[in-house]
Amino acid sequence: MYFSKKVLEQSPALKKKWEDEVKKTVARRSDQKERWSTVSDLEIKRIYGPEDIKDMDFERDVGYPGQFPYLRGNQVTGYRGQSWTFRMFAGMGSAKDTNERWHMLLKQGQTGLSTAFDFPTLMGYDTGDPHARGECGKCGVAIDTLEDFLQLVDKIPLDKITTSMTINPPASILWAMYCAAADIQGVPLTKIGGTIQNDMLKEFIAQKTFMCPPGPSVKLVSDTVEFGTKYVPKWNTISISGYHIREAGSTAVQELAFTLRDGIEYVDDVIKRKGLDVDSFAPRLSFFFNSHIDFFEEICKMRAARRIWSTVMRDRFKAKDPRSWWMRFHTQTAGCSLTAQQPYNNVVRTAVEALAAVLGGTQSLHTNSLDEVWCLPTEHAVEIALRTQQIIAEETGTANTIDPLAGSYFVESLTNEMEEKAWEYIEKIDAMGGMVAAIERGFPQMEISDAAYKYQRQLDAGEKVMVGVNKYATEEADEIPVLDIDDRVENEQMERLEAVRRKRDSKAVKRSLDDIKNACKKGENVMPHCIEAVKNLASLQEICDVYREVYGEYRDPAMY
Amino acid sequence: MGERKLRIMVAKPGLDGHDRGARVLARCFRDAGFEVIYTGCHQTPEQIAASAIQEDVDVVGLSCLSGAHRYLFPRVVELLKEQKAEDITVIGGGVIPDQDFQMLYDAGIKEIFTPGASLDSIVEWINTHIKLS
Amino acid sequence: MTKTDKIRKGDVRTATRLIRNIENNIPEARSTIRTLFPFTGKARVIGLTGPPGAGKSTLIDSLIALYRDRDKKVGALLVDPTSPFTGGAILGDRIRLQRHAEDPDVFVRSLATRGALGGLSKAAGDAVHVMDAMGKDVILVETVGTGQQEVEIMNHVHTVIVVIVPGMGDSIQAIKAGILEVADVFVINKAEREGADKLYQELMAMLNMVDSFPGGWRPPVIRVGNLFDKEIFEKNIAELSNSIDAHYRNLVENDLLGDRVRRKVTAELNEALQFSILAPILEKLIAEGEFDTLVDKLLKKETDPYTCAEEVAKKYLRKQPLKGVAG
C-alpha cells in the first residue's frame, strides 16, 4: 500500500467535500470546456489524489534510481554524476559542409555528434541515380563512398567523440564506413563509440524509409547487433525509435507501445537467429523518444517506458545483468509541434519539451531549432536551441534532484495509466504473431493514421490549439532567415563520385560485392564483407543493389 | 444518377517518406466526397504524371517535405504538358519556404499549401477552382 | 479523328475520359460505347475477387509483369468501395502497381463503386469494352468480393479467380455465400501462414461435394507463398497463369466460351434494362416523394409491395418515351 491507513481514511471525506464545492461552483460558472485531454486525447481528471495510486507498491512499482523497475532512472547519481549529452542533429550539403558545422558545434560546447543524411543516402541511392534527382544534400549530408565519409569525420578524433548516425536501410554500410575510417585513423574498433539508428521496424510503421522487406531487414539489423557484440563493444547498434512514430501522428501511448514492441521483436530475432545470450547484447540497445508539447504526458511516457522495459527484459527474456534491464534513451523535441507561423514561438515550445525530457530522465537530448519547419537550421537557430539545453542544465536547477515529480498523485497515476494502455497494445501485437506480422496486416500503420486524422480534425474544429495557427493568428508573417542548399551541391557530388569510380580498382569492387551477395544468400553476417567493400571504394548504392537483388524490394502497401 | 465526382490524386514525389500529411489529406478528400487516387510514397515525377493521365484526375496534389520540391513539382507539370494534359491542375504542399513560391507558380503550380493550412481551406480551394468535367 | 478511332489507337486520355463519362452516365458516352462495340471481344478478361487484405493487387502486379514478359498489352480495372457516408472514396489499389506506371502498354484505371443501382457492374463492363477496343490483350479486373454488385462484375470476365487468405476467419463462409458458383480458380494467398493447410483441406472438401462441373472443369486451388520469398512466389505465379490458360482452353474445347459470353451478354442486357427502365422510374418516384408515400402506406398495411409495383408499372410503363430520362 502506497499510503498510510490514516491518509486513506481521511481522503474520501475531504474529496467528497471538495467535489460538492466543485459542483456548486460549476453550476454558477461552467468550465471553459467539458472535456479536458492531453494532446494525444487521453482524458485527464480535474484532480488526482491518494485514491488514484493507492494500489501501488512502493518497492515493486517505484523504488529508487538504479533499482528495479528503474522508474526513477538507471543511474544512482542522476544528472549529478553526468549531465545528459547535448547532441544536436546536423548534416547538410556536402561532407565538407557538415564537417565544418560539426567543428562549430564542438567549439560551442556540444558533447556528441549526430549525423543527418540526405534522402538518397537514407534510401540507398547514389547521387545521380534517377530516384535521387533534386534531393542531394537537401535534408542532410550526401555520402556515396568512403572518400566522402573520410571528409565527414576529418579531424574528428573518433576515439574521443561519440557519433550518432541516423541511418536505417543502409545502416550496415555507413557503419562499415565508420569502422573503416577508424581503422584509417589508427583507432581500434574497441575504442569507438556511437549509435546507428538502424531501426527498420519503425520505418515500415511510420517514416517509410525502406528498402528490403521486413524479414530480411530485421536480419540485417541482427547482423549489426552480432558484429557489435563481438567486435565493437562500445557501439549502440540499434536506437529503437518512437520519435518518427510520433511524428507520423501517433498518440503518446502508441509511441510507447509500438517502440517497445519493436524492441521485443529485435531481441527475439537476435536470440533466435544468432543464438546470442540476451545479456551479451541487451545492454547496448538504446531507445529514442519524442518529447511533444503535452508536458506531463511526456514525462509519464518516459517513466513508464523504463518500467515496462525492465520488466520485459527480466521476465520475458530472463536477462540477469541489470544493465540489460536499463532503458537508455535519447530524446528529440517534437518537430511536428513547431509552427511555420510566428516561428519565434518555437523557441518556447522547444524549451518546454526539453524540460519534460529532462524531468523524464533522458540520457541525451536534441533540441529543435526555431526554423526547422522550413529548412535545415541556420547556425544562429542551432545556437539558440543548444543554449536552451544549457540553460535548463545549468540555470534552472532542474538537474539538482532525481525524478523530482515522483510521488505526485497525478504523475504516478498517469504513468500507470499509460503503462497499462501500452501493455494492451503489446499483448495485442503478441497475439498477431509479433511486430512483423502486425506490420504486414497494417495494424500499427492504421492506428497511427486514425490518430493523425483525428488530431487534424480536432485542430480544424478548434478543440486543440496551436498558437499562431488556429488561435492568436496574425496577418503579417515573421521573416526568418532560412538556409538554402545550393542546387550546385548535386553536380559537385556527382563529379566527386565519378572521380572515385575512375580511380578505384574495379575488380576488387566486384569481388567484394560478390562476397556480400554470397553472405546474403547463405544467411551469414554481412558486416565484415561490407567493411572490405567500402575500403575498396564500393559505393553505397552498389552495396544496396546487392541487398535489393537478393532480398527483394519493399513497396509501400496500400494502407491509409 | 449521373452525379459527377471530383477525382484527385494524392502523390508523394521523391524519396521522402513523411506521408502523414498525404494520408490525412487522402482521408479528408474522401470525406469531402472526392474520389481519391493515392499513389503512396517514393514516386518519380514520371510515375505521377503517367498515373494522373490514366486515372483522369482533375487535380494532382503533391506533398514534399524534403526540400526537393524545386525540381520535383515543376517536373510533374512539365511532363503533363508534354503529354497534352495541361488541363490537370497541380497543387502542392509541404515544407516550402516563401521564397520558392513565385518560382513554383511560374512553373505552373496553381496553389501551395504550407504547414498550418486547415483541411477545410484546402477543400474549399479545390471546390472553388476546379470545374468538374 | 473520332473518339472511337482514338481509342482504337490506344489513346489513354480519350479512353479514360470515356470511362469517366460512363461512370457519370453521360448519354453521349453510351453512343460511343455503341460504336466501339464491334471492335471488342478480342481481349482475355480475368477477374480477381476476394476479401479486403487478401493480396489481390499484389497478384495483379505480378500477373501484369508476367504478361508483359510475354509481350501482351495489359489493362487493369481496380474497383474500390465508395464510402456510404460521404460519397467519396480512397482508391489505393494502384499503389501496388506503380512499377508499371510508365509502361505505355499497361493501362491502369481505378473505379469507385458509387453504390448506384446496378450501375457499377455496367460501368465496369463498359470499361472492359473500352480497354478491349484499345487493343489490350489481357484485362484484369479486381473487386472486393463482399457484395452482390461486386460478384456481378465477374459476369464480365472469362476466368474468375477467387483469392482467400488464411487467418481471416470468414473466408470460407464468404465463398459459400455466393462466390463459389463463379470461381474458376482458387488462390490461397500468403500460403506460408498458419492455417493455410486447413483452408486448403476445407476448400478441397467443399469441391469434393460437387457432383459435376461444367466442362469437367474442377477449379484448381493454387497456393501462393510470401511475395518476398521470390523464388517460390514466382513459381506460384507461373502456376496461376498456367491455370488461367488451362481454364480458357477448357472453355474453348468444350464449347463453353459461348456460354460464358452468353452469361456476359445476359448480364449486360439485365443491367441495361435496369438502367434504362427501372432506374429512371425509381429516380422519379423518389424525386416526387411518391416512393416515401408508398413506404408509408406499406407501414400502415394499407397495401402490399406487389400491388404497389403493379400500380407503378401501370402508371409508367404505358407512357412511351422512357428513353433519355436517365441522361
pLDDT, average across residues C304-309: 85
Residue A69 lies in a domain: no
Cβ atoms C327, C280 nearer than 8 A:
no
Domain-terminating residue out of A460, A480, A497: A460
**What is the domain-level CATH number for residue A145?**
3.20.20.240
On whether both A404 and A515 belong to a single domain, the answer is no
Residues of A within 8 A of B16 (CB-CB) are 119, 135, 139
Please give the residue range of the domain that contains residue A544.
488-551
Note the pLDDT of residue A133: 86
Q: In what order do the strands lie in the sheet with C89-91?
A: B111-113, B89-94, B59-64, B7-11, B35-38, C89-91
Domain-terminating residue out of C202, C236, C256: C256
Task: Inform me whether the C-beta atom of residue B63 falls under 8 Å from chain C C-beta atoms.
Answer: no
Interface confidence, given as ipTM, is 0.94
**Cβ contact, residue pair C95, A555, below 8 Å:** yes
pLDDT in tens, B26-77: 999 999 999 999 998 899 999 999 999 999 999 999 999 888 899 999 999 9
| Residue to test with chain A: of B15, B95, B122, most A Cβ within 10 A | B15
pLDDT, average across residues C279-296: 85
Asked if the model's pLDDT at residue B1 lies above 70, the reply is no
User: How close C58 gets to chain B, by Cα (Å)?
Assistant: 14
**Cβ contact, residue pair C99, A555, below 8 Å:** yes
On whether both A448 and A494 belong to a single domain, the answer is no
Residue A238 lies in a domain: yes
Per 3-state DSSP, what percentage of chain A is helix, strand, and coil (rounded to 5)?
55, 10, 35
Which of A133, A374, A560 is the closest to B26 by Cβ?
A560
Q: Which three cell numbers stand for residue A251?
A: 498518440
Task: Inform me whether the C-beta atom of residue B86 falls under 8 Å from chain C C-beta atoms.
Answer: no
On whether both A505 and A451 belong to a single domain, the answer is no
pLDDT, average across residues C267-293: 81
**Cβ contact, residue pair B42, A119, below 8 Å:** no
Note the pLDDT of residue C326: 40
Cell 507498491 belongs to A57
Rounded CA-CA distance C33/A406 in Å is 74
On whether both C123 and C40 belong to a single domain, the answer is yes
**Cβ contact, residue pair C16, B54, below 8 Å:** yes
Task: Inform me whether the C-beta atom of residue C227 falls under 8 Å from chain A C-beta atoms.
Answer: yes
- B-contacting chains (≥3 CB pairs under 8 Å): A, C
| Residue to test with chain C: of B8, B19, B30, most C Cβ within 10 A | B30
Rounded CA-CA distance A347/A338 in Å is 9
DSSP summary character for residue A378: P
Kindly list the domain boundaries of chain B, sorted by start residue: 7-127
On whether both A154 and A269 belong to a single domain, the answer is yes
Residue A276 lies in a domain: yes
On whether both A215 and A296 belong to a single domain, the answer is yes
pLDDT in tens, C229-247: 788 899 999 999 999 999 9
What SS3 class is residue C325? Answer: coil
Is the model more confident about C319 or about C311? Answer: C311
Note the pLDDT of residue A558: 62
Domain B7-127 has CATH 3.40.50.280: yes
Which B positions 42-81 lie with beta carbon below 8 A of chain A? 42, 44, 66-68, 70-72, 75
CB within 8 Å of A501: residues ≥ 6 apart: A539
On whether both A401 and A499 belong to a single domain, the answer is no
On whether both A205 and A269 belong to a single domain, the answer is yes
Task: Inform me whether the C-beta atom of residue C297 falls under 8 Å from chain B C-beta atoms.
Answer: no
**Cβ contact, residue pair B2, C326, below 8 Å:** yes
Please give the residue range of the domain that contains residue C274.
257-327
On whether both A184 and A281 belong to a single domain, the answer is yes
Residues of C within 8 A of A552 (CB-CB) are 227-228, 230
Asked if the model's pLDDT at residue C319 lies above 60, the reply is no
pLDDT in tens, B67-104: 889 999 999 999 999 999 999 999 999 988 888 999 99
- Count contacts between A and C (CB, < 8 Å): 28
Residues of A within 8 A of B115 (CB-CB) are 339-340, 373
Residue A54 lies in a domain: no
| Residue to test with chain A: of C90, C95, C99, most A Cβ within 10 A | C95
Residue A113 lies in a domain: yes
Task: Inform me whether the C-beta atom of residue B132 falls under 8 Å from chain A C-beta atoms.
Answer: no
Which of B17, B97, B119 is the closest to A374 by Cβ?
B97
Residue A50 lies in a domain: no
Ranges of chain A whose pLDDT falls below 50:
none
Note the pLDDT of residue A478: 67
User: How close B45 gets to chain A, by Cα (Å)?
Assistant: 10
Residues of A within 8 A of B40 (CB-CB) are 555-556, 558
Half-sphere exposure of A139 (CA within 13 A, CB side): 27
Which of A208, A373, A449 is the closest to B115 by Cβ?
A373
Encode C223-277 in three state secondary structure: ECCCCCCHHHHHHHHHHHHHHHHHHHHHHHHCCCHHHHHHHHHHHHHHHHHHHHH
Cβ atoms C91, C112 nearer than 8 A:
yes
On whether both A236 and A313 belong to a single domain, the answer is yes
**Cβ contact, residue pair C53, A441, below 8 Å:** yes
On whether both C55 and C140 belong to a single domain, the answer is yes
Which of B40, B42, B120 is the closest to A460 by Cβ?
B120
On whether both C32 and C155 belong to a single domain, the answer is yes
Could you tell me which of B7, B123, B111 has the C-alpha nearest to residue B54?
B7
Number of domains within chain A = 2
CB within 8 Å of A140: residues ≥ 6 apart: A91, A92, A98, A115, A116, A117, A118, A119, A121, A122, A166, A376
- Count contacts between A and B (CB, < 8 Å): 108
Residue A303 lies in a domain: yes
Note the pLDDT of residue C324: 44
Confidence band, pLDDT 50/70/90 cuts, at residue C218: very high
| Residue to test with chain C: of A200, A554, A555, most C Cβ within 10 A | A555
Which of A130, A207, A453 is the closest to B17 by Cβ?
A207
On whether both A230 and A121 belong to a single domain, the answer is yes
Which of C96, C99, C230 is the closest to A558 by Cβ?
C96
On whether both C207 and C304 belong to a single domain, the answer is no
Which A positions 437-456 lie with beta carbon below 8 A of chain C? 441-442
Number of domains within chain C = 2
Confidence band, pLDDT 50/70/90 cuts, at residue C173: low
**Cβ contact, residue pair C102, B33, below 8 Å:** no
**What is the domain-level CATH number for residue C237?**
3.40.50.300
- CA B51 → CA A118, A396, A437, C136, distances in Å? 27, 56, 31, 18
**Cβ contact, residue pair C86, B133, below 8 Å:** no
**Cβ contact, residue pair C228, A560, below 8 Å:** no
Q: Which three cell numbers stand for residue C48?
A: 480477381
Task: Inform me whether the C-beta atom of residue A559 falls under 8 Å from chain C C-beta atoms.
Answer: yes
Do the bridges between strand B59-64 and strand B7-11 make them parallel or antiparallel, or are there none, so unpaired? parallel
Q: What are the phi and psi torsion angles at A426 (to 5°)?
A: -60, -45
pLDDT in tens, A380-433: 999 999 999 999 999 999 999 999 999 999 999 999 999 999 999 999 999 999
